[in-house]
Amino acid sequence: MIVPEKFSLNNHKCWICGYRKLDVEKKMSPRYLCFWCSPSEEGEEQLTPELLINDLILEAGEHLRNGNLIRCEDIDVLSLIADIGDLGGRHPHFKQFTSMIGLIAVQVVLEKSYTPRKLLKVAEGATLNEKWKRVCQCIFFLTDVSLLEHGEGRYIQDRFRPSNLLLELTSSIESVSKVEEELPPRIANCIAGYALLYGIKTSIEWLKKDGQGEPTGIIRLYPRNSHGKIWIPKRFTATTMYLMGHLAHGYDEFSENELRAWLSNRGITGNDASWIINWLNRTIPSAHRLVNPRFDGITYHFSFNINYIRMRERVRERIRGRSR
């Protein structure tokens, strides 16, 4: 097992969405997040992106435990996390990890265990050593998000074995569809989206505790060099936080111009920003159901899926109920 390299953070930006802080903001808490990803709590009834994500993970986890993965098209929360998985699977860096998650899930369906060596075939890297590092990153990450768990034994497949959640969610696939090499795309996206969104939640918690020790969650998957310098795969993380934040703050619509301005504060411009717009409006073909696009002749306007808005309202109600 390769020991993860030293890790260094600075307070110049948000380590989830990549927002570049103004000098005055650098001194504010939380040091490693922005006010979008971690707004100061103005009363417990306020729905923040973090609370929304936490609730979605809880609800999705219950459905996955109850064998509902196979119905991910009909269950709003599973459909939403499958949309996030679709976005993750199209990112040049995250794609390898969503492929690894798919390979692990297929093996667990068929054999109730997995072989880390098999993941090398989708890992990126010029050398075997680099590829193996990516595989280990993924295994640690899946342990953070409760799809693998620590076990006994000398070998990596024994030390990190499938969790009950992974065994339960894969057993629902086994009973319905015939799995050979790959999972049906929407199901694979649902598992990957669950892991990635859970990873964001875990990293936000870690960053709020001042980023001490080895990172947990999605930050484990960020690309880094041997000096500990890391890059944020913003096209995935920033887009996800924009959507979750907008939904959490109660907005049902947004325009291309609003999104571009927000992305530009995070250093996402040009082709990367256009790619995001084209994914949202499905010029890049996608089965996501996040938003409905409307073109006014000049720019796009997006309205959230009405089912997702209703789901947001249910989360709000639950949070109000808890704080009463």
> Residue 301 half-sphere exposure, CB side, CA atoms within 13 Å?
9
> From the CA atom positions of the chain, what is the Rg in Å?
19
User: Would you say 25 or 174 has its CB closer to Zn ion?
Assistant: 25
Reading the block at residue 268, the tokens are: 């996402």
Q: Which is nearer to Zn ion, 36 or 194 (CB)?
A: 36
Smallest distance, Å, CB 3 to Zn ion?
29
- Report d(CA 324, CA 320) in Å as an integer: 6
Contact between 119 and Zn ion by CB under 5 A: the answer reads: no
Q: How many Å apart are CA 188 and CA 122, to the nearest integer?
A: 15
Taking residues 166 to 185 in sequence order and writing x for each that binds Zn ion by CB under 5 A, - otherwise, the string is --------------------
Give how many residues touch Zn ion by CB under 5 A: 7
Piece in contact with Zn ion (CB under 5 A), picked from 19-27, 41-49, 172-180, 186-194: 19-27
Beta carbon nearer to Zn ion, 139 or 263: 263
Kindly state whether residue 236 participates in binding Zn ion, applying the rule CB under 5 A. no
CB of 203 to Zn ion, least distance (A): 11
Q: Does 196 bind Zn ion (CB under 5 A)?
A: no
Q: Is 263 in the site for Zn ion (CB under 5 A)?
A: no
Q: Of 19, 132, 206, 262, which one interacts with Zn ion (CB under 5 A)? A: 19
- The answer to whether 64 contacts Zn ion (rule: CB under 5 A) is no
Q: Does 200 bind Zn ion (CB under 5 A)?
A: no
Q: Which is nearer to Zn ion, 36 or 308 (CB)?
A: 36
Q: Is 238 in the site for Zn ion (CB under 5 A)?
A: no
Least gap, CB of 59 to Zn ion (angstroms): 23
Nearest Cα to 227, choosing from 57, 63, 5? Answer: 5
Which residue lies nearer to Zn ion by CB, 14 or 87? Answer: 14
Q: Can residue 17 be called a binding residue for Zn ion (CB under 5 A)? A: yes
- Interface pick for Zn ion out of 21, 31, 32, 37 (rule CB under 5 A): 37
Peptide bond just before 49 cis, omega within 30 deg: no
Contact 257, 314 (CB under 8 A): no
SS3 label, residue 123: coil
Give the binding range for Zn ion (CB under 5 A) out of 33-41, 128-136, 161-169, 277-285: 33-41
Q: Which stretch binds Zn ion (CB under 5 A): 34-42, 178-186, 229-237, 256-264?
A: 34-42
- Amino acid letter, residue 254: F
Q: Would you state the structure tokens that stand for residue 193, as one six-digit string?
A: 């989206």
DSSP assignment of 55-116 equals: HHHHHHHHHHHTT-GGGTTTSHHHHHHHHHHHHHHTSTTTHHHHHHHHHHHHHHHHHSS--G
Judged by CB under 5 A, the residue of 13, 34, 144, 217 near Zn ion is 34
Q: Tell me how far apart the alpha carbons of residues 128 and 115 are, in angstroms, rounded to a whole number.
A: 16
Instruction: Provide CB contacts within 8 A for 211, sequence distance 6+.
Output: 9, 15, 31, 32
Region of 5-13, 26-34, 175-183, 272-280 interacting with Zn ion (CB under 5 A): 26-34
- As measured in angstroms, the least distance from the Cβ of 232 to Zn ion is 10
Distances in Å between the Cα of 173 and the Cα atoms of 84, 166, 179, 186 are 20, 11, 8, 12
Q: Does 14 bind Zn ion (CB under 5 A)?
A: yes
Applying CB under 5 A, the residues found at the interface with Zn ion are 14, 16-17, 19, 34, 36-37
